[in-house]
Amino acid sequence: MRSVAGWTAVAAAGLLLLPWYVVDNFWTFGWVARAGGTAHAPALLQALLHGKAWLLLLFLPLAGILATRLPREKAGFWVALAGCTGLAVLLLQGFLFRHPNVTPAGWPTQAGMGYGALVTGLAFLMLLCEGLALRGVCRGDGFTVSSIGLIVATIAIFVFFPILFILKSALQDNAGNFAPALFYAQITDRSLWGLDCLVSSVRCGVAWNTLFLAGLVGAGTTLLGLAFALVATRTAFRFKGLLRVISVLPIITPPFVIGLAVILLFGRNGGVTTLLYDWFDIPRSRWIYGLPGIFLAQMLAFTPIAFLVLIGVVQGISPSLEEASQTLRARGWATFRTVTLPLLRPGLANAFLLGFVESMADFGNPLVLAGNFEVLSVKIFFAVVGAAHDQSKAAVLALVILSFTLAAFYAQQRWLGRASYTTVTGKGDAGLPAPLPPMLRWLCYAVVAPWTLFTFAVYATILVGGFVKSLGRDYTPTLQHFLTGFSVSMGERGLHFTGSAWDSLWTTVWIAALAAPLTAAAGLLTAWLLTHQDFAGRRAFEFGTLLSFAIPGTVVGVSYILAFNVAPFELTGTGVILVICFVFRNMPVGVRAGIAALSQIDKSLDEASSTLGARSATTLRRVVAPLLRPAMVAALVYSFVRAMTAVSAIIFLVTAQYNMATAYIVGRVEAGEFGLAIAYSCVLIAIMVAAILAIQLAVGERKLGRRSAGDLALQGSA
């Protein structure tokens, strides 16, 4: 009941003290002095002085809570009702009275919701949740209900609401009129679905191009990743540490940098091309621009992800299953084909889906390498930022990508079906994994070895490229690129960061550092709710968090600019929207890492804690979090790194004030300043390596005593 009083006070503070509408530079507190004005007034003053009388309705639920004094059992219903009413009024008024462009003529209009509205809305949501908890929902635990409420609300606003906006914009013309005919014309356009390339030399539709490329990359990365995973786990390969390095490098590399390196190797003036020309008289050509180049670059960029997914699954296969197969007279190849491979199905499906979605969403590599081979993500980009500024077309194209990835997601779920592939049990498994059949082993080696060399060639290019004048033409060593980007000079008032890249670098680090802990917290909290709590609608909740993982970044970017451009959620152009974008883009990975770790931690530990009088928040902090350290490191590292390297979503959201490193680099590439782009990428990679080490150091190891290596110790019974 104390928390009810607390949230009532917070709601009141939001209504009485904070500026109700969006204000610039909130954190400099300039609004305090101007709190009476139209722009900066809190809700009460807005209602009384500035003609926003409907805001008074928001006081009703609070008055209701304060007026009634009820015993606990009855209070629950009324508190929940008050919270629910408050939320409904808040949203209704927000969507009824909006920007002059979207509100019918003659209606009152208002600016986007600001911190006052945010705080009040949050307090109403918490009142709703606390009320439900008082009624015994989620075993009467306020923290659990509030967490679920908060995550559902934010996912609804930042994942589903923008997607709805894509649908809406696709059905409208650029003036905002309902235009189903235009939608039909755009969605069936020949430039999307044309199949002319099969019969003539005319190009095929963009949709087919994208689908073909994504399928190719998905299958390619999965197979290559599987080969790497098998070599790493099932052979006596000497240099497994090397595979680890290769698997991490591309993840901390901004994706299109690989495309750039591919050009520098295989382009008309590329290193390899020149060698081939000099030694074998093979003529220089532009073959790399188009499907081959994009495919190569995306394979390099996304194979490590498939490898990381598959190595976990290969390691997870219980050796005793393979031993059982062998004792039943199945020889090496038969065991692999009938036991090992089928057990890999979830891993293969996941790896394929990841490669497929990443390829569809990838924007940097096609931008650099596409040539005449058009793909959807690039077309969307130019529809939004190009001269045409055709939002309706962008929405239609985004809808096409989205339906491809959702179809793949659906097919994956269907293919896996209802069978359980869990092979990691609590019991110790003393068996030995089956060795690979010789044929397969040599095949894996034959694939892995050259690819490893190739990867190193690419990274050598990136490294060298930053330090020479112009790769492919002029190999004079120089620090010029670093100086242009990162020069520092001593002025009268101390240090001046005069380099052209400093602004975007500071913004990037700052935003990544803000987003990483939020992402990890949201992801792990969701994982904890999914694994250790039981509540109605858990399946739907899980599906919702998984779904955002199947939405390509390009689509997210477009949907955000469509949804958050006008009131009530006016966020475009701020740093906040970048942080939010990263949190919801990368949260699914935190959820996955958390679920994997949490399913090893017995539920009875939570229950023991709560019967000893600890509330859920305390349990989470004292019992669950210390046992989750490895997952926490993974989530933090991943979200930080992704925030530093992402391009596809944020390229739509950056502004001059909040420019991100990757967007800046894309700009340099477009301007042909490859040296600077590569030098900047090197700096980013160095920062990320330092950050990963720092995170590992800060979070630390978990202590479980002598038997920390075994998962058994985690089950509380040991």
Partner 1 sequence: MAVVEFRNVFKRYGAVTAVDDVSFTIQPGRLVTLLGPSGCGKTTTLRLIAGLEMASAGRIFIGERDVTAFSAAERDVSMVFQSYALFPHMTVLENAAYGPTVSGEKPERAKEMAIAKLKLVGLDGFAERLPSELSGGQQQRVAVARALVLEPQVLLFDEPLSNLDAKLRRRVREDIREMQQSLKLTVVYVTHDQQEALAVSDRIIVMSNARIAQEGSPRELYEAPRDRFVADFIGDANLVEAEMGAHQGEHAPVRIGGLDVRLAHRGVAPGAVRVAIRPESIRLSLEKREASFAGTLRKAAYLGTHMEYTVVGPVGTLFVVDHAVNKPLAAGTAVFVSLSEQGIALVPG
Interaction site with partner 1 (CB under 8 A): 72-73, 76, 133-137, 139-142, 602, 604-605, 607-616, 618, 622-623, 626-627, 702-707, 713-718
Type of residue at 317: I
Q: Which is nearer to partner 1, 96 or 704 (CB)?
A: 704
Q: Which is nearer to partner 1, 186 or 619 (CB)?
A: 619
Structure-token pair, residue 363:
């924007």
In whole angstroms, give the CA distance from residue 572 to residue 655: 9
Q: Which is nearer to partner 1, 25 or 611 (CB)?
A: 611
Report, in Å, the least distance between residue 147 CB and partner 1: 14
Q: Which is nearer to partner 1, 150 or 605 (CB)?
A: 605
Report, in Å, the least distance between residue 69 CB and partner 1: 18
Report, in Å, the least distance between residue 589 CB and partner 1: 25
- Residue 496, classed as helix, strand or coil, is strand
In whole angstroms, give the CA distance from residue 302 to residue 548: 19
**Number of CB atoms found within 10 A of residue 240's CB:** 12
Q: Which is nearer to partner 1, 248 or 623 (CB)?
A: 623
Q: Which is nearer to partner 1, 138 or 660 (CB)?
A: 138
Report, in Å, the least distance between residue 610 CB and partner 1: 4
Q: Which is nearer to partner 1, 438 or 710 (CB)?
A: 710
* List of E strands, 621-709: none
In whole angstroms, give the CA distance from residue 603 to residue 617: 15
Q: Which is nearer to partner 1, 133 or 646 (CB)?
A: 133
Q: Which is nearer to partner 1, 69 or 703 (CB)?
A: 703
Half-sphere exposure of 563 (CA within 13 A, CB side): 20
Report, in Å, the least distance between residue 148 CB and partner 1: 15
Report, in Å, the least distance between residue 531 CB and partner 1: 16
Report, in Å, the least distance between residue 606 CB and partner 1: 9
| Nearest residue to 679 via CA among 508, 469, 457 | 469
| Nearest residue to 475 via CA among 675, 205, 645 | 675
Q: Which is nearer to partner 1, 203 or 629 (CB)?
A: 629
Task: Write the DSSP assignment of 97-151 as a string of letters.
Answer: S--TTTSPTTS-----B-HHHHHHHHHHHHHHHHHHHHTTGGGG-HHHHHHHHHH
Report, in Å, the least distance between residue 703 CB and partner 1: 6
Pairing relation of β-strands 494-497 and 474-477? unpaired
Report, in Å, the least distance between residue 137 CB and partner 1: 8
Q: Which is nearer to partner 1, 268 or 603 (CB)?
A: 603
8 A C-beta contact, residue 90 and residue 118: no
- Residue 251, classed as helix, strand or coil, is helix
CA-to-CA dists, residue 529 to 160, 336, 423, 524, angstroms: 20, 37, 23, 9
Q: Which is nearer to partner 1, 235 or 600 (CB)?
A: 600
- Residue 281, classed as helix, strand or coil, is coil
Report, in Å, the least distance between residue 149 CB and partner 1: 16
Report, in Å, the least distance between residue 429 CB and partner 1: 19
Structure-token pair, residue 612:
């000893």
Q: Which is nearer to partner 1, 330 or 424 (CB)?
A: 424
8 A C-beta contact, residue 130 and residue 79: yes
Report, in Å, the least distance between residue 70 CB and partner 1: 13
Taking CB atoms within 8 Å and a gap of at least 24, the contacts of 676-680 are 676/481, 676/484, 676/485, 676/501, 677/257, 677/260, 678/257, 678/260, 678/462, 678/465, 678/466, 678/471, 678/481, 679/465, 679/466, 679/467, 679/481, 679/482, 679/485, 680/485, 680/501, 680/505
Task: Write the DSSP assignment of 409-437 as a string of letters.
Answer: HHHHHHHHTT-------SS-----PPPPP
Containing 627, the helix (H) or strand (E) segment is: helix 625-627
Beta bridge partners of 474: 470
Name 436's Cβ contacts closer than 8 Å, sequence gap at least 6. 230, 234, 235, 332, 336, 444
Report, in Å, the least distance between residue 65 CB and partner 1: 18
